[in-house]
Amino acid sequence: MSIGTRPHLPMRPLWTCRRCARPRPCAEARLALLTEYAGDRLTMSVYLCEQLYEAAQELHRLNPDEAPSPRALFARFAGWAPLLP
């Protein structure tokens, strides 16, 4: 798989995008998630919260003094997702 076709997946434990190196989930990853979970926003929300939990643990373990705040992690991983009806 070339870099041009590599999906926007997380590079763990840094939680940056493997393709564009932006914080995960990058804009492209968000669009892909919205498409993948178009008919099931509840499952997408659960998935995003799982990702948030894992990222919080791994980022804190890497650098406890400079890990993102819970508020920043929520905004990054779950706060952008459309609200359930």
In a domain, 59, yes or no: yes
Q: How far apart are CA 34 and CA 12, in angstroms?
A: 22
Q: Which two tokens stand for residue 62?
A: 């890497």
pTM greater than 0.85 (yes/no): yes
Domain count, the chain: 1
Q: How far apart are CA 49 and CA 66, in angstroms?
A: 21
Residues 6+ apart with CB under 8 A from 62: 13, 14
Give the pLDDT of residue 22. 97
In a domain, 44, yes or no: yes
In a domain, 18, yes or no: no
Domain hosting residue 45, numbered range: 32-85
Q: What is the pLDDT along the chain (85 residues), one digit of tens a residue?
A: 444 566 899 999 999 999 999 999 999 999 999 999 999 999 999 999 999 999 999 999 999 999 999 999 999 999 999 887 6
In a domain, 15, yes or no: no
